[in-house]
Structure 1
Amino acid sequence: MSTPDSHHQADEVGSATRALDRELRRLRIPRTRRSALVEEVRADLRDAAGDGLTPEALLGDVATFAREAVSARGWTPRPRDWRSATTTAVTVGVVALAVGYLLLLEVLNPLMSEWIDLTQRYPVAGPLLTYAALALIGIAGALAGFARSLSGRPAARTSVTRATALLPVAAALGVGAAMLFGRAWDYSTSLPVVLIEVALVALPCAGSLWLARWWGLRSSAVPAAPPVSAG
């Protein structure tokens, strides 16, 4: 039969575990790991309550306990910087792409029209060379922006390394789609066609950068140590 004391102990345990869950959310710990840790601590607190110990006596400062528990398990808190890093990288890449576009088509094309010519004279070599050159310029700009935006943050180098592998693949897929679209419009250089081509390249590139950041954070986590109990 429950007593007022048992109700009070249950309330204290519930309040402490909710506070712990909030701290783990703030640290961006994934739900499955967060739930497992909270359940483990709840069980420890219930056992300790039977011995007359309060959650405050076992946990102390909840924020400190959460950080120590996360560190002991080798978990890496996931900073929500993927959006800003991806946006910065794509923006820098698009700017580099625009500069490269103007340089190649407005300056070098008249000088090298024997090769860089979006007419029927070279239906494959001209467009392929142009798209490839623009892709390389955009990739270089995007990687530079990505590395700059992650400077000093957790798993920055690992994320950039992953991006170096993933971004060219995404860019190749995007360029392929852009070339098919451009060919359907006779490789028009009108603004709407160019903007759609940029979007076809930018979207898969943005996805690859997000994946690189996620992968980098997962790869940088050290193997989990034996869990630290609340007791």
Structure 2
Amino acid sequence: MQDADDVIATAEREWRAMGVVPRDRAALAADLRRELEAAAADGITPRQLLGGADVRAFARRLAAESGAERLTYETERLLRTALAGAAPGLVLSWLLLWEQVPFGVDMPGALLVARHAICAAAVLVGALLAVRLRMRDVPGIDRTVWAMALLVPLAGALVTPLTMAFAWTTGYSTALPVLLFEAAMVGAALAGATLLARWWALTPALRDAQPVAPGH
């Protein structure tokens, strides 16, 4: 059955590359093994069964015909949802911090850090809630939210000093172009961390599946 094992291994690699979910990969592999074993019992080789077709093309056709579920990164939708969820936090932070409390150049550094930390927390909670609630139908979204909960704060910790440094160079200006640039810096960090979180969350699902044992 070495030839059959090679065919199945090649097919599984193709299904993984296509993003077929592990459950359906296992089912496809089991069905293919049964067909190969039945053909071998009749003296038909895997090459004859495939009709000389390329194994990868054959695997793609099997997956399409079976309606196998495929994981999708949904990056565009994920970014839109995360940024939409973060937007109210940014607006709320502006209203509560910059508008209601005078923002002075001589303000203690600890208070400046605290203000930015509050903004980051509002942005994070909004983004996580939006993704979790509005994308609950997407496979792997729970792992994505957990990954975002780890990576987005890390990105915020990295971008905050950069944003504060830029604000210092402008004398903590509240001019619209300055504020938009600061928001763009934060948004870029959020987007990058979100994309990385999605990739990280789906990586385990796209790893090599355990080989299907003969007869199962």
Match among 174, 182, 194 for residue 189 of structure 1: 174
Cα distance change of structure 1 residues 87 and 53 upon mapping to structure 2, 3 Å threshold? closer
Tell me, in whole angstroms, the C-alpha distance in 2 between the residues paired with 1:169 and 1:63.
39
Aligned residue number for residue 124 of structure 1: 109
Verify the 8 A CA contact 1:86 1:146 in the aligned structure 2: no
**1:100 maps to 2:93:** yes
User: 1:208: Cα distance to partner?
Assistant: 0.8
Q: Is the 8 A contact 1:118 1:127 kept in 2?
A: no
Q: Deviations over 1:140-162 (max 9, x none)?
A: 11111222243122111111111
- For 2:73 and 2:136, locate their aligned partners in 1 and report how far apart those are by CA, in whole Å: 14
The 1:66–1:122 alpha-carbon spacing in structure 2 relative to 1, beyond 3 Å, is same
Instruction: Indicate the structure (1 or 2) with the bigger Cα radius of gyration.
Output: 1
Length-normalised TM-score, structure 1: 0.63
> How much does 1:129 deviate?
2.2
Asked if the contact 2:73–2:198 (Cα under 8 Å) also holds between the matched residues in 1, the reply is no
Cα gap change, 1:182 to 1:52, in 2 (>3 Å): closer
Aligned counterpart for 1:88 among listed residues 67, 81, 86: 81
Query: Are positions 1:226 and 2:211 aligned together?
Result: yes
The two structures have a TM-score, normalised by structure 2, of: 0.67
Map of 2:154 onto structure 1:
169
1:188 shift after superposition: 1.0
**Residue type of the partner of 1:207?**
G
**Deviation at residue 217 of structure 1 after TM alignment:** 0.9
Deviation at 1:121, TM superposition (A): 3.2
Q: Quick one: distance in 1 between partners of 2:18 and 2:149? A: 28
Distance 1:153 1:55, change over 3 A: farther
CA distance in 2, matches of 1:53, 1:184: 67
Structure 1: stretches of 5+ with no match in the other structure: 1-19, 30-36, 38-43, 110-116
Report Cα offsets for 1:171-215 as digits up to 9, x if no partner. Answer: 111221110100111111111111111111111111111111111
- The Cα of 1:52 is off from its aligned counterpart by 7.8
Equivalent pairs: percent with the same residue? 27
- Asked if the contact 2:163–2:182 (Cα under 8 Å) also holds between the matched residues in 1, the reply is yes
* Alignment match, 2:7: none
Give the CA deviation at 1:222. Answer: 7.0
Q: In the comparison of the two structures, how many residue pairs are matched?
A: 178
Separation (CA, whole Å) in 2 of partners of 1:119 and 1:180: 15
